[in-house]
Structure 1
Amino acid sequence: MNKHIVIIGSGFAAYQLVKSLRKQNELTPITVITADNGDDYSKPDLSHVFSQQQTANDLIKQEADDFARSNNITLMPNTRVKAIDSTKQVVHFNDQCIGYSELVLATGATSFVPPFSGNGTDEIVTLNSLMEYEEQQDKLATAKSVLVLGAGLIGTEIAMDLATSGKKVTLLDRATSLMPTLLPSFISANLYQTMQEKGVDIKLGKEVKTITRHHQELIVTLQDDSYQHADVIIAAMGLAPNTQLAQESGIDVAKGILVNQHMQTSINNIYALGDCAELNGKVRAFLQPTMLSAMALAKTLLGSPTPVQLPASLVKVKTPWLPLHLSGDTTSDNLMWEVKQEPEGLVAKAFNQTTGDLAGFIVSHNQLKAAFPLLRLLPVE
């Protein structure tokens, strides 16, 4: 078969791979098949659309047709892949099929929404894609009160941005601290106090029982039988990698689509990339590892097998009331902290209690520049 790379998906991972491929080879045929319209945008920007008063169109960096032309690819928008025949190396869609020499699954992830009870559950808003925001932007613009379910990274960022835009915001989570998978308790408590002082109503250790529509508002009943009222409910409770197509195609999956160091799945000539892929037991939803993986995979697809090597990734938390950069292990029990609170910000270093080695760090405010020299001291993942 002649060379023909087919990519399923058009998110950051897919388009980063396209750009990396084209930097090395301008002519190899590339087809991108995507279930949405294929516009190029930055998904992290969805966390601050409210304070910026941005519409979905404002977030588009390059429209789909322009992206396809400028990168010399065939783009098939609004097309859903039905099946993959890995024996014949064919992808099926819309009663048609297309052959591939290499296939890349960049199918992304879907917002996780638990199966709550009540007649208002189908009104829960998720903001994991430009299409989702476009569908809900009018409702969000006119809402006066918003309940955000999930106090992780995305939920906390969205809640702060909504409050900055002047809306009444409640942030609710069954966890007992903000961003518990990223922040130690002393920084989480600082963030909690900062947000409370700015008017965000934070409800931690609370679990939703039902969501019902009552006239013009949604009513959330909690397990302790207390109530929360809101015009709109946003779920930011984590992401579930989209693995169904891979699984139906006989590709090994766990939490994500299992890949080796070359991003190859359990089937030859099929690869996975982005937050649908699981490498070394982890699904990495941040931009830096996806970018580095795309650069390595591009070389592999063009005939120069290149293993993915991931240095410690810098996580930039978009919480302008308490801006944070962090990396490494910042939540394990086996850490001892060295914390320096300077007038211009915080520098907190986490050391492994057993080895004494630097394990992670968190910096804030005008100390964000201190992140880069610390990042170089952390071990490769």
Structure 2
Amino acid sequence: MKQPIVIIGSGFASYQLVKTIRRQDSQQAITVITSDSGDDYAKPDLSHVFTKRQSAEELIKMSADEFAKHYDITLLTHRRVESIDRAQKTLCCDGESIAYGQLVLATGAKAFIPPIEGDAAERIITLNGLEEYRHAQAELGKAKSVLVIGAGLIGTELAMDLASADRQVILTDLAETLLPGLLPGFISSQLFQSLGNQGVNIELGTQVERLQQDGERISVRLRNGQEYCVDTVICAAGLKPNVQLALRSDLKTHRGIVVDRKLRSSDPSIFALGDCAEIEGQLLPFLQPILMSANALAKTLLGQASDVTLPPMMVKVKTPRLPIQLSGITSHPDANWQMDASGDGMTARAFDEQRKLIGFVVTGAHMKQAFSLLRELPPTL
């Protein structure tokens, strides 16, 4: 009997792979093992739970049982894989031995929390998945003031959503600008102004030194000397790929689990997909590259070896008061920018020294130009 494809993890990458395999093969045995509830939901929706007043249960598109039945898979929830026996092609899961024909690590990434002093540091909330939101939603529902640590994509989206839901928000980051890895300064400053107009207190170029219990509230001290008192603290300071199982299994890792363009790890029977995978030195934690990677991997697992090829991809910044889309290289310090601005938005094109388009950012009413610009960019991978 043919051994199953076993997938560890139940996030977007894992479930997209299941759906893609099933479109091509209705008989292939699939086992998914996850440490959480296994419910199917859209992770980007977490950026808007405050304005939409959604509970964790309302985010679920399909329960674990419904998903398993619909896609005809074996789904093991609230289970942890302790080790992989690569020679025997088995893994140990809560003391049980499970055999695999091909194994996919879709273990995702863990929210990074910088070292912070104080007895309230343990109260920091992260929103990197449905389970984290489920555990924190009661506290978040009561909070009237929130400190958001991290002014990257997720932190900035959360800050705007919280402010739109009438929370008092402090947004802080060690970087000097908002979304420093994605936006040029002249657009980052527009986002800064938009958040400021909502009443968000933005503290950049500094970091949180101490979080101290103050009754039921939290006293905050920043390195620049500023002090605040808030009801809760959310950290969105970045992600660290979950590579612990791969390390214990002697697979090659760097920042993530190192894979080739077929998503194959240093073991030919083990693959990695999603936030945990490092493809030719790149971590690509956005939905579109994960979707396209899952499509290629499904073909490979079913016997038609396929490389991942990534065209230029769009990143949408979910900040409704200043809608932004971008693609390509948009934060290079030596890029030459050409701007076309109007009262209701901007198109900014980035060129290299040879005057080749390498990236763009569009805002507001200029968003309709995004797809035509996208076709002019070189492939991502």
TM-score by length of 2: 0.98
1:110 equivalent in structure 2? 110
1:55 equivalent in structure 2? 55
2:122 equivalent in structure 1? 122
SS in 1 for 2:264: coil
Letter in 1 for 2:335: L
Letter in 1 for 2:126: T
**Distance in 1 between the 2:101 and 2:368 partners?**
44
**Distance in 1 between the 2:344 and 2:214 partners?**
48
**Distance in 1 between the 2:188 and 2:217 partners?**
31
Alpha-carbon distance, 1:206 to partner: 1.3
Alpha-carbon distance, 1:217 to partner: 1.0
CA contact (8 A) 2:337 2:348 kept: yes
Supply the RMSD in Å over aligned alpha carbons. 0.9
**Distance in 1 between the 2:224 and 2:308 partners?**
47
Q: How does 1:88-99 map to 2 (within 5 A)?
A: 88-99=88-99
1:87 equivalent in structure 2? 87
1:14 equivalent in structure 2? 14
Q: How does 1:120-159 map to 2 (within 5 A)?
A: 120-159=120-159
Count of residue pairs the alignment pairs up: 380
1:264 equivalent in structure 2? 264
Structure 1: tracts of 5 or more residues without a match: none
SS in 2 for 1:275: helix
- Cα displacement string for residues 322-365 of structure 1 (whole angstroms, at most 9, x for unaligned residues): 0000000011122111111134421111111x211000000111
Letter in 2 for 1:365: G
Alpha-carbon distance, 1:174 to partner: 1.1
**Distance in 2 between the 1:362 and 1:3 partners?**
47
1:33 lines up with 2:33 in the alignment: yes
Identity %: 48
**Distance in 2 between the 1:147 and 1:209 partners?**
13
Letter in 2 for 1:380: P
CA contact (8 A) 2:241 2:275 kept: yes
Structure 2: tracts of 5 or more residues without a match: none
CA contact (8 A) 2:3 2:99 kept: no
SS in 1 for 2:16: helix
**Distance in 1 between the 2:97 and 2:119 partners?**
40
Q: How does 1:1-381 map to 2 (within 5 A)?
A: 2-352=2-352, 354-381=353-380
Letter in 1 for 2:190: N
Letter in 2 for 1:107: T
**Distance in 1 between the 2:240 and 2:270 partners?**
21
Letter in 2 for 1:233: V
**Distance in 2 between the 1:66 and 1:370 partners?**
40
- Cα displacement string for residues 309-331 of structure 1 (whole angstroms, at most 9, x for unaligned residues): 01111000000010000000011
Letter in 1 for 2:88: K
Q: Which moved more, 1:81-90 or 1:212-221?
A: 212-221
Letter in 1 for 2:78: N
- Cα displacement string for residues 21-54 of structure 1 (whole angstroms, at most 9, x for unaligned residues): 0000001000000000100001110001000010
- Cα displacement string for residues 72-116 of structure 1 (whole angstroms, at most 9, x for unaligned residues): 100000001000011100010111111001000000000000121
Alpha-carbon distance, 1:227 to partner: 1.1
